[in-house]
Amino acid sequence: MTTDTLERTQVATPADIRTALIARDEIALIDVREEHDFAQGHPLFAAQIPLRRIDEEARWRIPRLDTPIIVYDAGEGLARRAAVRLQGLGYTDVRELEGGLQGWRDAGYELFEDVNSYSKAFGELVEHRRHTPSLAAEDVQALIDEKADIAILDARRYDEYHTMSIPTGTSVPGAELVLRAGTIAPDPDTTIIVNCAGRTRSIIGTQSLVNAGVPNKVYALRNGTIGWTLAGQGLETGQVRAAPEVDGKAIEAARAHARDVAYRAGVKWIGWNDLEHLKADTARTLYLYDVRQPREYEAGHLPGFRNAQGGQLVQETDHNAPVRGARIVVTDDLGPRADMSASWLAQLGWEVYVLSVDWSAVVLERGSDGAPPPRGPEGRYKRPYEGTDNKAEKMQAYLDWEYGLVAQLEKDGTHGFYVI
């Protein structure tokens, strides 16, 4: 055996993987190609770690060394080398997908395009099941022009909002919506419109407010900034409008509404002793996430918790928790953001808990969580919804792909999602 080859390696068949996914056994199905190649087609619950980044990312994203890991490529010879790398890092149950990506296809199983595909497919399922209300770009522009009583809330990360945004929009990243919407739009006659770049975060954000019972009319901006651009309407750039701070009364109201939503989704609440019990179970992978904004996290967080903004944790679950079947514990110092994030993770099929404790009794850690440095541009997939220079045909093709995800989920049959 050398650093790049194995004389023998164990394999897992596509049927083995499908059985594990349906049974909700722990499994990390890892595509070791570059992101651009991954986005052309992959199994629904595959996560992506390129071969060149295994040494940097694997221990962070797959923390338990005896996690069942299956690596694959599309015939480039990367999977065998990845298996060696992973074994060299101490992983003890590493296998290759028999036949690689072609083997999965030959077994008759579905391949999904793009990135964060199962979260996007879930968003489409939510809209399909709940008939999430939405308005076309032209209708929203008309409301802006007539100076109607509306509040446009951008559910993306702040940096995305700052790059380009809907005119008059305010940055309210997804998990913040239930907490802050009542402060931004205290008059129940104000119509709230939630947008993102495409569809998923608009749908999830809008449905979050509907689920929480806000008294306002709430709509998603249909197709987000893509739909806005395709309608020939101008976007703003460099905006800095952010949600205001909330007072105690607003926090209590949001807490009650978010807790009710999480309860209906089957979320469980735990304390310190329960958390220690979960940590002691070394046969299970456990992810701990503080779902507040990065500046809040860096100012002080519970020991051992990583940072992932709640909306992004739901949007990019495959990146933040690549071990399907693992446990996830979320927390925030106020409560509503963790409860709303957990409500969606539960519906995505995760065993999820909210750590509900008195933060004032804890010595908080400060600074970043020590995550691996961001990837550079090498091998990156250019999203059709980011930036301001995308071609119209690519944006429309992306929307058409999203429209077809509910039917593709039905064909795949492994998702286990439900919608409250």
pLDDT digit string, tens, across residues 74-122? 999 999 999 999 999 999 999 999 999 999 999 999 999 999 999 999 9
Taking the model in full, what pTM does it have?
A: 0.96
Amino acid identity of residue 172, one-letter, is V
Cα–Cα distance for residue pair 26/38, rounded to 1 Å: 22
pLDDT at 58 over 70: yes
Mean pLDDT to the nearest integer, 246-263:
98
Average pLDDT over all residues of the chain:
96
pLDDT at 385 over 90: no
Cα–Cα distance for residue pair 158/300, rounded to 1 Å: 20
Q: Which phi and psi angles does 352 have, rounded to 5°?
A: -125, 145
pLDDT value at position 387?
A: 75
How confident is residue 8, by pLDDT bands cut at 50, 70 and 90? Answer: low
pLDDT digit string, tens, across residues 123-142? 999 999 999 999 999 999 99
pLDDT value at position 386?
A: 84
pLDDT at 1 over 80: no
pLDDT at 5 over 90: no
pLDDT value at position 2?
A: 37
How confident is residue 3, by pLDDT bands cut at 50, 70 and 90? Answer: very low
> Domains along the chain?
1-113 (3.40.250.10), 122-246 (3.40.250.10), 250-361 (3.40.250.10)
Mean pLDDT to the nearest integer, 150-162:
97
Higher pLDDT, 1 or 355: 355
CB 226 within 8 A of CB 200: no
pLDDT at 312 over 60: yes
Higher pLDDT, 2 or 142: 142
Sole residue written with tokens 């049927």:
15
pLDDT digit string, tens, across residues 188-202? 999 999 999 999 999
Is 181 exposed, middle or buried (CB count within 10 Å of its CB: 0-12, 13-18, 19+)?
A: buried
The share of the chain scoring above pLDDT 90, in percent, equals 96
CB 243 within 8 A of CB 171: yes
pLDDT digit string, tens, across residues 228-240? 999 999 999 999 9
Cα–Cα distance for residue pair 92/69, rounded to 1 Å: 9
pLDDT value at position 293?
A: 97
pLDDT at 352 over 70: yes
Cα–Cα distance for residue pair 243/336, rounded to 1 Å: 15
Cα–Cα distance for residue pair 184/192, rounded to 1 Å: 9
